[in-house]
Structure 1
Amino acid sequence: MDVDFMERNGNKRGVNQRNVGGGRHYNGPGSGKVCAFWLEGRCNRNPCNFLHQKPDQIHNREEVSQQKRALVWRNPNGSGGSSNQNGPSKWGKTNNGVGGASSGGRALIPTTSGSSGKRDKICNFFYKGNGCKFGDNCKFMHSWFVGDDLALLTPLEGHKKAITGIAFPLGSDKLYSGSNDGSVKVWDCQTGKCIGDFNLGSEVGCLVSEGAWLFVGVLNAVKAWNPLIGIDLTLDGPVGIVYSLVIGNDFLFAGVQNGNILAWKVHVATNNFEPAASLSGHQLSVVSLVVGGMRLYSGSMDNTVRVWDLSNLQCIQTLTAHTSVVTSVLCWDQFLLSSSLDQTIKVWVATENGSLEVTYTHKEEHGVLTLSGMLDTQGKPILLCSNNSNTSHIYDLPSFSERGKIFSKEEIRSIQTGPNGLFFTGDGSGELKVWKWS
């Protein structure tokens, strides 16, 4: 389904693209030869007619790119995965010129020579929506993002407090957002206008969709709403705010403020939700849930991730590598990713006996709030990473090479992906933005 949000600030780049040793190859009189100035680290031509990469690196780079394109987002223990293709040895490392910040790797963040990083700061006049008298000569950014192939389609303004959930139900032309201001807003995808505003009388802890169903976590309840058939249900039982929701193996799971995970059996034929179990073990609030294969993974304020067997709803492992709140858990390929306020993202892989152990740790400058994964227009896996700051990062996987940055008025609390390269971000100020890979 094509979502036609009206474009604003779409293709305007905040800074000029420079070739920073990224191996870009132009067809010119000297094509096929390595730039002598680049080898000395002082080429300032853009574009340069010569190679900014050693010829023996090109074949390896294309080989790794083909491997990345073959990857898809799928659950751990699911069919079609291949741990040999993306084994632990390749996580976050520079292999044959592809990787992180080392020379010869991909330098995808545009920078301005002599700026000392100031281009990564938003101009205060631009931030406030006022005109900047310096124009293009301003040393600060006049853009909400940095990176190739990314466009801001439109901001959606209306919430008064932090956005805690975004949902795009299957088959719908409506976008839903929930907030700490106690409201759920409905946005028309063709016009970008708010066409519905529901006051739930409680702050919204989370909001997710599954099929045509919309689920909203509030104080001591889960609201289940199917707008296509006009069903509106209230599922009682939680104690405190419901911070996380997920559906898997015909169960609806809710992570609650008191540390429990409540489960309801979903009866699709009768559109009924039957209380099934209360999963106890976490000592503090459960703030993140994800289902992968026959496993439920839960992240908590008690600094742990618990692994639950969906066949019997029993906890089979507790992961204790984080030293602060586990804010988000995400399944990618055959791996589990977990983020934390301890400023790390950890990648877990199953050992021969089935238990999970850390195979790679990626460090951030700030605490991590949420993770979300998607594919770009070329089918490459992308990780969206929101920090406890006004900057969020976009990474290639599995290398964790930085692909871009997104800036916001306050920290981004919620990220949701959509069809056709769309994704949505909601920040602490209540602003919702619509983005697209172009």
Structure 2
Amino acid sequence: MGIQTARSNVGWLQKSAAHYNQLPTAPTSRKVCTYWLKGKCNRNPCRFLHDASLPRNVYHRAAKQSSYMREDCPGKGPESSPVNSASSTSRERGDSSKDKNPQKPQEKVCNYWMSDNCVKGNACPFLHSWFHGIDFALLAKLEGHKKGVSGISLPSGSNKLYSGSKDGTARIWDCHTGQCVQVINLGGEVGCFTCEGPWVFVGMPNTVKAWNIQNGASYDISGPVGQVHAMEVANNMLFAGAQDGTILVWKEGSEADTFQMAAPLRGHTWGVVSLTVGRDRLYSGSIDQTIRVWDLHTLECVQELVGHTDVVMSLLCWDQYLLSCSLDQTVKIWGATEDCSLEVVYTHHEDHGILALSGMLDAGGKPVLLCACIDNTVRLYELPSFTERGKIFSRREVRTLQTAPGGLFFTGDAAGMLTVWNWLDSPKSQEEQLPHSMESC
């Protein structure tokens, strides 16, 4: 049971986006900006002076207030970074030339830069990049959704990328150009997306919309109560986790009745928000803080997993293990015992609640876990050691992760931004990596 990935090969046209690193120069006057001295000026340009050649105590007063960092992983913090240790050494020696152009730490992105408002340029103590890490790169930012991205799908045999949003629309993107080729008004919030063969399924309030991208057939499948938060396809069955705690099941039917309702799976006391399939089992995570294990042949619950203390947001099958994450700030690894039941064999702790998990292989064939947290970051960990491989930053929290063959993966955030990433064939230093983008709608 390997890491589950999307089933489509897509080719993305890479174009330079060096403009991400081009920042305007602020005009100056004789008076020094008092907000800049406190590290709080967000005007660009500002009519007052932002002068890095001021006395050292003034510069460090501003820098000290905004350069907090923490070590997220041993050996990865500011003390062990060659860049950060060099800049800190120069400050200890009182090297004023270094103070005028300090190196950026590799831990926190500049929030002003993300909003195109940073006026410090190279003097900013924070990172001016959407990510840090040396083995992957940004390919494109696809803009168009007005609210959070809640689903991403890559149908088999298609050169189109499908995304759904809480703004009530689905967008179809050309994988070669990055252009949005169609916007579909669905009339309600999209809770989730999944695909199987030529079928694309969209989870909506009180319904699942299905359309066949080959013949254009479309259906509204009724039955769910409340929003559909998660869907999976296995054994010619569609599973949908609903707001009332029920998992609805449809089996493949006749041409006249394409989707036939089977017996619903009941047991969760609150909404089902995550589903995954592996080893002839369906796993469901719920707001009730539990995970239920269902036999795919009998559709009976064979075990209830209790261990999380908050909502079980995402589930992932990897090798012989089940991975789960929660708003309780943990990722739990569940392994099989002698009697084939599951128990926690390892718990990974984060400093923030965790929203989504996804897994894939990097360019070297090593398994990597993508872990989206509520602090607007996605952490990349090499498994099974949980060695940190990098970090992705976003304006809002990333709630949707999707992987694809060929080293591609996608992040969708709560602001409506859909971002395309890929693993590099050979590791390069971050200075050698140029961000890439494509035309977007």
Q: TM-score, normalised by structure 2?
A: 0.75
State yes or no: 1:141 paired with 2:127.
Answer: yes
Structure 1's 126 and 236: CA in aligned 2 closer, same or farther, altered over 3 A?
same
CA distance in 2, matches of 1:382, 1:244: 23
Matched letter for residue 84 of structure 2: T
- Residue in structure 2 matching 1:129, options 116, 124, 133: 116
Q: Which residue identity does 1:349 align to in structure 2?
A: G
Matched, 1:280 2:266: yes
SS state of the match for residue 347, structure 1?
strand
Please list every run of 5 or more consecutive structure 1 residues that lacks an aligned counterpart in the other structure.
15-99
**CA-CA distance at 1:234 after TM superposition:** 1.2
Identity %: 53
State the 1:271 CA deviation: 8.4
Q: How many residues align?
A: 351
Aligned partner of 2:380 among 378, 394, 403: 394
Return the offset for 1:178.
Answer: 0.7
Rounded to whole Å, the distance in 1 between the matches of 2:127 and 2:267 is 47
Name the CA distance, whole Å, in 2 between partners of 1:237 and 1:173.
32
- Contact in 2 for aligned 1:253/1:261 (Cα 8 Å): yes
Matched-pair contact (CA < 8 Å) for 1:9–1:151: no
Once the two structures are TM-superposed, the CA of residue 286 in structure 1 deviates from its matched residue by 0.3
Cα distance between partner residues in 1 of 2:254 and 2:213: 15
- Pair 1:257–1:137, CA change in 2 (3 A): same
Does the 8 Å contact 1:414/1:426 carry over to 2?
A: yes
Q: 1:362 to 1:13 in 2, by over 3 A?
A: farther
Aligned partners of 1:164 and 1:426 also within 8 Å: yes
Listed one character per residue, the Cα deviations across residues 216-274 of structure 1 (whole Å, up to 9, x for unaligned) are 00011111111112111111100000000000111100000000000001248888211
Residue type of the partner of 2:107? D
2:246 to 260, 264, 269: 260
Report the counterpart of residue 372 of structure 1 in structure 2. 358
The Cα shift of 1:211 comes to 2.0
Could you tell me which residue of structure 2 aligns to residue 112 of structure 1? 84
Separation in structure 2 between the aligned mates of residue 11 and residue 291 of structure 1, nearest angstrom: 42
Structure 1 residue 205 displacement after superposition: 0.5
What amino acid is the match of 1:432? L
Amino acid at match of 1:6: Q
Pairing partner for 1:420 from 393, 406, 410: 406
Structure 1 SS opposite 2:84: coil
Structural RMSD (CA) = 2.6
Flag the 1:268–1:339 CA change in 2: closer, same or farther, 3 A. Answer: farther
Matched, 1:6 2:14: yes
CA contact (8 A) 2:104 2:126 kept: no
Shift of 1:409: 0.5
Verify the 8 A CA contact 2:109 2:128 in the aligned structure 1: yes
| Alignment partner, residue 26 of structure 1 | none
Corresponding position: 1:165 with 2:151? yes
Q: Tell me what 1:192 maps to.
A: 178
Q: Distance in 1 between matches of 2:80 and 2:368?
A: 13
Q: Distance in 2 between matches of 1:408 and 1:423?
A: 15
In 1, the alpha carbon distance for the partners of 2:282 and 2:355 equals 20
Match for residue 344 of structure 1 among 325, 330, 345? 330
Which residue number in structure 2 is paired with residue 183 of structure 1? 169
Matches within 5 A, 1:33-44: none
1:102–1:154 CA distance, 2 compared to 1 (3 A): closer
- 1:285-305 Cα shifts (integer Å, max 9, x gaps): 100001102100000000000
Deviation at 1:129, TM superposition (A): 3.2
Listed as ranges, the gaps of 5+ residues in structure 2 are 1-8, 23-71, 89-101, 425-441
Contact persistence 1:185–1:194 (CA under 8 A) = yes
Amino acid at match of 2:175: C
Partner Cα separation in structure 2 for residue 111 and residue 268 of structure 1:
64
Q: How far apart, CA to CA, are the structure 2 residues paired with 1:322 and 1:295? A: 20
CA distance in 1 between counterparts of 2:380 and 2:347 reads 17
Corresponding residue for residue 243 of structure 1: 229
Note closer, same or farther for the CA distance 1:104–1:141 as it changes in structure 2 (3 Å cut). Answer: closer
Q: Are 1:305 and 1:320, in contact at CA under 8 Å, matched by a contact in 2?
A: yes
AA partner of residue 314 (structure 1) = E
Report how far residue 134 of structure 1 moved: 3.6
Letter in 1 for 2:126: F
2:82 and 2:200 map into 1 onto residues whose CA distance is 39
Q: Is the 8 A contact 2:103 2:125 kept in 1?
A: no
Separation in structure 2 between the aligned mates of residue 118 and residue 420 of structure 1, nearest angstrom: 31
Q: How far apart in 2 are the matches of 1:258 and 1:348?
A: 26
Supply the distance in 1 between the matched residues of 2:110 and 2:139 (Cα, whole angstroms): 20
Q: What CA distance in whole angstroms lies between the structure 1 residues aligned with 2:82 and 2:205?
A: 44
Shift of 1:307: 0.3
What CA distance in whole angstroms lies between the structure 1 residues aligned with 2:185 and 2:368? 35
**1:230, 1:108 → 2: CA distance?**
56
SS in 2 for 1:172: coil
